[in-house]
Structure 1
Amino acid sequence: MTARSRTLNVGIVAHVDAGKTSLTERVLFEAGVLDAPGSVDAGDTQTDSMALERQRGITIRSAVVSFDWRSTTVNLIDTPGHSDFIAEVERALAVLDAAVLVVSAVEGVQAQTLVLMRALQRLGLPVVVFVNKVDRTGAEPDRVLGEVASRLSPEAIALGQVTGAGTRAAAYLPFEMGPTELAALRGGVRAATAHPVVFGSAITGAGVHELLDVLATFLPGTGHDVSGEPAGVVFKVERTNGERTVLARVRSGSLRVRDRVAVDGRAAEKVTGLRVFDRGRLVRVDEVPAGRIAAVQGWSSARIGDRFGGGRGGGGAASGGSWAGQFSRPSLETVVDAVRPEDVGAMYAALTELADQDPLIDLRQDDGRREIAVSLYGEVQKEVIAAVLAADYGVEVTFRPTTSICVERVVGSGTACQLIGVAPNPFLATVGLRVEPLPLGAGQQFALEVELGSMPPAFFTAVREGVDATLEEGVHGWAIPDARVVMTHSGYYPRQSHAHATFDKAMSSTAQDFRSLTRLVLAEALTRARTVVCAPVHRFELEIPEDVLGSVLGELARHHAVPLETTLRAGVAVLAGEVPADSVHGVQQRIPHLTRGEGVFTSGLDHYAPTNGPAPTRARAQPDPFAQIGDWSRIQRSWPSG
């Protein structure tokens, strides 16, 4: 592999069917990586490797390909466009220097286009807009340019024009620009305040060569600064033939084979193998410098979102901040059932591997009911999970109805305490806790009102583990995301033994004592503080023809969606409002039928609202400490900690 002067990591993002994967194929062909571009319809594209991707003609998992253009090594990342796979896009954003936002010259700005552009703007990433499909019947480049300027960014600047739009002879003619104009635009693009617009067709190749020139000319790359220790971020985990590979962006230093690197603060692990993407292939190397994407072997504990090393690697995306939370977490879940009862164990093992590759699946197992639940963004994910389990693991599954993932909010303050050696406490530990509500989004906090030296550090660690486990499943079984837990009392029996004997657990406190007692004491404190169950509510925006407004409003009401704002302009009605998370799919299905296919619906998790009526409960994946309150006499020292 030849060293290059700089590296550019570019993501291709778009609404589903706008032509991202076709554009990737054409780019690789223009760059000399492919002899001929693959076809989504034919199912022979370079980046859609999953059978279901080829079958349905959609991208499900992000893929990385590499090529060289004008002395720049470009790592191109093809991302999903369907909203159900937004987590894959989120992970790609963690490693990007810039993005190409693909917009169809026929359909124009669509629902997911808006969501993606807002995320890119929040991150401060430079964006080049490629208006695709200028050769298709119905293509209107000028209209779409107006939509881009009015709905995405007023600083969208066309770098050329289209002749023969709507025909196979459509061509892109770039404008002539002087050095001063070029320099000013380059500065605006790199500051993410100006967005060049290129027109073309991924199928015919019109405008693609010019797009590559724009990437090399205007976008900021990463130089090979190899000083300092290796640092970066993990953005993907893959398993191929049982082999685990971690994909990571190296942000500073240089990562080498046999390096021992601490990932996310855990014990350092040895790099046993390195590969980089080079002209459509993965090539083994001994070293990966800053700016490149490395395929790392040997990191068994690394998870998506983990940072490794120090220095500049701790930052995410272009802005250097955390990349988590740019998109909302899944607000839905479903229980997965094996068609054949004897496959339950194999199904759990397979889902565990899938959760390793996609942590937002958030696998939960209820041993008592032998139920396994996974988190979802939408219904299409069910089909994907089922297809992967059947094809890769030989396990056939079905799904129960999708439900919302609620949370619990602490209402007031509650305290509880159990003293060592005082009935009914069966554990050799003293734990006193106070739980208090925190503002929305504050997260979980743990504090001490006891001396840090009052007992061994391992016991404090066990208390914190007990706190975390209890807050995962609150009074009604839902997670408690915002709460402060304060340890008010502590006490223990030192390590003891009978004369001439070894350590006697019956006389000495253990971490298990503190872990188990903490869960019970916090459960009692939470019961006294009280919690309220809150369900997820999405904020939606809906753009429809004005003449169907009445029928659409009726449909929204049937799905408990509440429009809060309505704007009318030039025959178009734009509605904004709130809809329960578990009603989003129903609305999405009905809007195309009611709007002649012209409706554009976007939504995202906005907040949680208290539920009406009896509080909904969630099956627990861990032993239930709340069931023991008031009946301490039944608790044994062997009570599990979960």
Structure 2
Amino acid sequence: MLKRGHSAYRALFVRYNAESKAQLEKLRNIGISAHIDSGKTTVTERILYYTGRIDEMHEVRGKDGVGAVMDSMELERQRGITIQSAATFVNWKGTDINIIDTPGHVDFTVEVERSLRVLDGAALIVCASGGVQSQTLTVFRQMKRYNVPFVVFINKLDRTGANPEKCINQMRKKLGINTAFMYYNIGLEKEFEALIDIVQNEVVYFHGDNGEDIRREPVPEEFAELRQEKFDELVGCLADVDDEIGELFLMEEVPTNNQLYDSIRRCTVARSFQPILMGSALKNKGVQLLLDACVRFLPQPDQIDNFANQAVPEDSDEEKEALMMSPERSKANPPVMLAFKLEKSKFGQLTYMRMYQGYMKKGQTLVNTRTGKPVKISRLVKMHASDMIDVNEVYAGDIFATFGVDCASGDTFTVNELKHLSMESIHVPKGVVSMSIKPSNKKATQNFLKALVRFANEDPSFTWVFDQESGEYHMTGMGELHLEIYAQRMEREYDCPVEVGQPKVAFRETILPGVVHFDYQHKRQSGGRGQYGRAIGKANINPKSNTENVFNDKLTGTNLSRGYVKPLITGMEEVFSAGPQIGEPVVGISLDIIDGAEHRVDSSEISFQLCGQGCAEQILSRANKAVIEPIMNVEVVYPQEFDDRVNKYLYEKHADIQEFELDNQYKTVYCQVPLNDMFGFTAGLRGCTEGKGEFSMDFSHYDLARDDVIEELAAKYQHKLASESSKKK
């Protein structure tokens, strides 16, 4: 038996990989995802312990002075939350498992997004008392976006208010998934004792100081009826989506255990069924069963189809073709890999990558297909939180990291012969909150700028700009906590204390539905070569997104060369960057360029750039304009005795209540609230509920702002313009 030692485990991992490069069935890439405070990092800490990766377990908040292994950042240990996704690898019963532990807070949702982009499967952790919460829904949508199969682990059965039946009902109703229990609890809260294995018809007990000793016994007579009920429910759910079990069900035959396991695997990989496991990671119960399920039911890399798009020339009528990646761990196929996460380390930029095809060895030169530049991969490492283990080669299916690679998140790397390929990039949510920021000490300005550049490179949901008019830096992110963390990191990591302004909502300007025609001619003659450009077209709302502008080339004939379309769009974008109502970007427009005119001598790119500015101004002067603001999904939980107070408070916050649930003495309200009304919500809710209320929120969509909000914003913008004008005088 392997001794729990870092060096011994490392040796085994290297040896095992060397002996099984072709065995994809012995490899899993999984993520641990959930709503905040559902126990993801605690589950991962137990996984590391039970697989021999660490010698002892520690608490997430680091009360013992150590903290969880995967929360390697000091801020994570202090706050007791995961801020950055962290990768590690383990071996469970002969199967290599690459694991990424992701944040649960909505402000760090891009960390979940890019992790799920490169994973083959996931474990969705659900709190037994909290059930399906706002970020659970967000994670589920992200899994759906990338077609990631997953299993469910209902955690914290020892917690007050634990109710797995409520959890499964919410999953069926809110997530719309086909699911059933594979295990069921004996006892709840303080009485939580063991788990019933529904398929094996056994009770599983967890003994020892850390739950490492597992004992199985036949199900006692008093639980026989309950077990049979859950068994029939499991078979019924599988019969609905699996032909083999469906046929046995119709013939009233009882499937064997192996038939059930095979069916669960088929349906989990196909995302038509999600098995539910349960336990209490903190009490060291049930995590080994989750590991078994990840190996048994989640797909191996060759069971997931991955494609790379083949680029075609811009002036070509050909459609992009998708080339399927070959997942065989073989030197026969050229390497194709995706950079999904950047992070600065003491050795330079650390780039996390997923290999989708072929084989690569240390020292090999590849091409970044976005930039076309060759890149030498001088070092390869496997990550264990912040620790690194050097390896000499990687194969299809591996998740690894490298140094000294100049790239961005979502870049594809391959050999020169395949430089026309690019993997599907990563969905990046738009920031909704901004703050002004400046270094407290002007001498630290250089470090301040280094920090801004680094954080923007690492986190595509964090952006910053320098406002020339106000002379201020502004950073934009997913929420107050998101920006607050970066401000603290500047002081800790760059010795640069900063001053931040009040948070501001990312309002946007837009137009209302209705076709707006434009026909603008730019003409200037002042001796010598002049300027000339004309563009004709129409604009309307973008039906696919009210936060994105789309420019469509609908030119026919030869009146306007296509070479002038790009500067024309550039000019329009310059005007749309600051709208006339409140000075915010104008978005949500679909614009067709239909016709135009050019002059053989006087037309140039600058002419059409100025023409584009005139077109945009013409559109905004003719269109019915509006302002939109971010709307948040908000989930509020509080004792029912404060119902009247909370309802009044939600009314004051202009909440649109979607639904509510009653559970014992507590009420859960699901509503949508403008982000602008959410500032100070924590203090307000505590005041309404004597500190007993809780809430969580995540971004939902952009919608029209109220008239009173627009009037206030417009007044502030006009005051700003007047102030700037007086300064110039």
TM-score, normalisation: structure 1: 0.81
Q: Secondary structure at the match of 2:140?
A: helix
Amino acid at match of 1:358: D
2 CA distance for matches of 1:607 and 1:235? 27
More displaced stretch, 446-455 vs 114-123 = 446-455
- Please state whether the residue corresponding to 1:59 is helix, strand or coil: coil
Inter-partner Cα distance in structure 2 for 1:424 and 1:470 = 28
Note if contact 1:537-1:609 (Cα within 8 Å) is conserved in structure 2.
Answer: no
SS in 2 for 1:234: strand
Decide which of 379, 382, 387 is 1:277's aligned counterpart: 382
Counterpart selection for 2:274 from 176, 195, 201 = 195
**Which amino acid in 2 is paired with 1:528?**
S
Query: How far has the Cα of 1:175 moved from its partner?
Result: 3.7
Distance, in Å, in 2 between the alignment partners of 1:542 and 1:424 is 68
Q: Distance in 1 between matches of 2:190 and 2:107?
A: 33
Q: Report the counterpart of residue 701 of structure 2 in structure 1.
A: 606
Write the letter of the residue equivalent to 2:610.
L
One-letter amino acid of the structure 2 residue matched with residue 563 of structure 1: I
Q: Which residue of 2 aligns with 1:400?
A: 501
Please tell me whether the aligned partners of residues 157 and 192 of structure 2 are also in contact (alpha carbons under 8 angstroms): no
TM-superposed deviation, 1:355? 0.7
Change (3 A) 1:516 1:36: same
> Does the alignment pair 1:374 with 2:468?
no
Q: CA deviation at 1:362?
A: 2.0
Deviation at 1:78, TM superposition (A): 0.7
Closer, same or farther in 2 for the Cα pair 1:244/1:589, shift >3 Å?
same
- Report SS of the residue matched to 1:616: helix
Which residue does the alignment assign to 1:66? 89
> Pick from 702, 713, 727: which aligns with 1:616?
713
Label 1:477 to 1:342 Cα distance change in 2 as closer, same or farther (>3 A).
farther
In the alignment, is residue 259 of structure 1 matched against residue 259 of structure 2? no
Q: CA deviation at 1:405?
A: 1.0
After superposition, the Cα gap between the structure-2 partners of 1:245 and 1:138, relative to the gap in structure 1 and judged at 3 Å, is same
Q: Name the counterpart of 2:614.
A: 521
Instruction: Give the direction of change, closer, same or farther, for the CA distance of 1:312–1:489 in structure 2 (3 Å limit).
Output: closer
Tell me which of 158, 175, 192 is aligned to 2:181. Answer: 158
Paired AA for residue 392 in structure 1: E
Structure 1 segment 315-394 matched on structure 2, within 5 A: 323-324=426-427, 328-394=429-495
> Which residue of structure 2 aligns with residue 31 of structure 1?
51
Using the TM superposition, give the Cα deviation of residue 233 of structure 1 relative to its aligned residue in structure 2, in angstroms. 3.4
Any idea what the Cα deviations from partners look like across 1:29-66, whole Å, max 9, x if unmatched? 11111122233232432221211111111100111111
Check 1:617–1:385 CA distance in 2 against 1; reply closer, same or farther (3 A cut): farther
CA distance in 2, matches of 1:344, 1:166: 53
Q: Does 1:117 align with 2:218?
A: no
Q: Is the 8 A contact 2:507 2:584 kept in 1?
A: no
2:632–2:697 contact (8 Å) kept in structure 1? no
Measured after TM superposition, the shift of residue 162 of structure 1 is 3.5
Aligned residues: 599
Distance 2:133 2:449 in 1: 37
SS of 2:680's equivalent in the other structure is helix
Kindly state the Cα deviation for residue 154 of structure 1 after the two structures are TM-superposed: 5.9
* Partners of 2:161 and 2:669 in 1: CA distance: 26
1:449 is matched with 555
- 1:69 Cα offset (Å): 2.3
What's the RMSD between the two structures over aligned residues?
3.8
Q: Which runs of 5+ in 2 are unaligned?
A: 1-13, 201-256, 303-326
Distance (whole Å) between structure 2 residues aligned to residue 565 and residue 426 of structure 1: 66
Distance 1:603 1:209, change over 3 A: closer
Which letter maps to 2:452? L
Tell me which of 280, 286, 292 is aligned to 2:398: 292
1:413 partner letter: V
Report which structure shows greater RCO (CA 8 Å, sep ≥6): 1
CA distance in 2: counterparts of 1:357 and 1:286, whole angstroms:
26
Distance 1:483 1:425 in 2: 37
Work out the CA distance in 1 between the residues paired with 2:456 and 2:617: 33
Cross-structure match for 1:556:
650
Q: What does residue 584 of structure 1 align with? A: 678
Aligned equivalents of 2:536 and 2:360: distance in 1? Answer: 45
Distance 1:584 1:311 in 2: 47
- 2:535 is matched with which residue? 432
CA contact 1:331–1:375 (8 Å) conserved in 2: yes
| Unpaired stretches in structure 1, ≥5 consecutive residues | 317-321, 495-507, 629-642
Distance 1:487 1:47 in 2: 55
The Cα shift of 1:71 comes to: 3.6
Aligned equivalents of 1:29, 1:401: Cα separation in 2: 43
2:103 is aligned with 1:80: yes
Q: 1:618 to 1:361 in 2, by over 3 A?
A: farther
Q: What amino acid is the match of 2:91?
A: D
CA displacement, residues 582-611 of structure 1 (integer Å, 9 cap, x when unaligned): 223434554455456465554432232045
Distance 1:295 1:59 in 2: 20
What is the match of residue 241 of structure 1?
346
Contact 2:132/2:167 (<8 A) preserved = yes
- Residues 587, 185 of structure 1: alpha-carbon distance in 2 compared, 3 angstrom cutoff: same
Normalised TM-score (structure 2): 0.73
Higher mean displacement: 407-416 or 373-382: 407-416
Q: Distance in 2 between matches of 1:138 and 1:546?
A: 15
* Aligned-partner residue type, residue 584 of structure 1: M
Partner of 1:104: 127
**% identical aligned pairs:** 24
Q: Which amino acid aligns with 2:478?
A: Y
The question of whether the paired residues in 2 share the 8 Å contact of 1:165 and 1:171 is answered with: no
User: What is the aligned counterpart of 1:473 among 556, 559, 578?
Assistant: 578
Provide the rounded CA distance (Å) in 2 between the counterparts of 1:209 and 1:515: 65
SS at match of 2:678: helix
SS at match of 1:9: strand
Q: Are residues 1:56 and 2:79 paired?
A: yes
**Paired AA for residue 436 in structure 1:** A
More helix by share: 2
Q: How far apart, in 2, do the equivalents of 1:81 and 1:140 lie? A: 21
Call closer, same or farther: CA 1:332–1:185 in 2, change over 3 Å.
same
Taking a change above 3 Å as real, the CA distance of residues 275 and 27 of structure 1, as seen in their structure-2 partners, is same
- 1:583/1:259 CA distance change after superposition, 3 Å: same
Aligned partner of residue 455 in structure 2, secondary structure: helix
Change (3 A) 1:410 1:153: closer
8 Å CA contact 2:67–2:77 kept in 1: the answer is yes
* C-alpha displacement of 1:135: 4.5
Distance across 1 between alignment mates of 2:528 and 2:621: 18
In 2, Cα distance between equivalents of 1:10 and 1:430: 55
